[in-house]
Amino acid sequence: MLKWFRKHRIWIAEIFLFVAALLAISSWQARNLLDTDRQEAPELQAVTLDGAPFDLLKSEQKATLIYFFAPWCHICAASSDNIRRLRRLRDEESLSIVMVALDWEKLDDVHAYAERHELNVPVVIGDTEIAKDWHVFGYPTYYVLDDQHRVVSRDFGYSTQLGLWWRSWLPGS
């Protein structure tokens, strides 16, 4: 084993540095998002794509993934499939998933996005005030809330299905 380690130590060091760099970049990108110190999530009142009213504070007390996207965002499009698959892995009884459309020009753009990606979760029509309240400065941005609607995790950018699944299982969520 020691011989193998010596032979591959440069390769192992490079992997370690690569992972450390990814973590540092991710941390830097998320620096302006809401804190994960279990602070209460901001208000989220709007209308869904189906025309139904949505109020986070009046929704069920369970773990929730709030995913902010823009219909024109290619990274959002790539990760929308991960949201759809996460819904299949985590049922509605254990995790609520809500997507919030921001930075859209026409409502038809949001409808087309939802159809194209076969979204199987509620899509809330957001605005600049919601983006400001939730500290959304880029897309996609997402937050995981515990069953008391307190922020337990957040991130910015693409997340794999495994990454979303893992964050949605955080303690207290």
Give pLDDT, residue 20: 72
Give pLDDT, residue 8: 78
Report whether pLDDT(25) > 70.
no
Report whether pLDDT(172) > 60.
no
Distance (Å, rounded) from C-alpha 65 to C-alpha 164?
A: 9
Question: Do 122 and 105 form a contact (C-beta atoms < 8 A)?
Answer: no
Report whether pLDDT(166) > 50.
yes
Among 32, 86, 45, smallest CA distance to 63 is for 86
Average pLDDT estimate for 104-130: 96
Report whether pLDDT(118) > 90.
yes
Region of 94 on the Ramachandran plot (φ > 0 left; ψ -120 to 50 alpha; else beta) = alpha
Give pLDDT, residue 36: 79
pLDDT digits (tens, 9 = 90+) for 126-139: 999 999 999 999 99
Written as one string, the DSSP assignment of the chain is -HHHHHHHHHHHHHHHHHHHHHHHHHHHHTTTSPP-SSPBPPP-EEEETTS-EEEGGGS-SS-EEEEEE-TT-HHHHHHHHHHHHHHHHS-TTT-EEEEEE-S-S-HHHHHHHHHHTT--S-EEE--HHHHHHTT--SSSEEEEE-TTSBEEEEEES---HHHHHHHHT-TT-
Give the pLDDT band of residue 13 (cuts 50, 70, 90): confident
Distance (Å, rounded) from C-alpha 145 to C-alpha 37?
A: 11
Give the predicted TM-score (pTM) of the model. 0.82
Give pLDDT, residue 60: 82
pLDDT digits (tens, 9 = 90+) for 26-72: 666 666 777 778 789 999 999 999 999 999 988 888 899 999 999 99
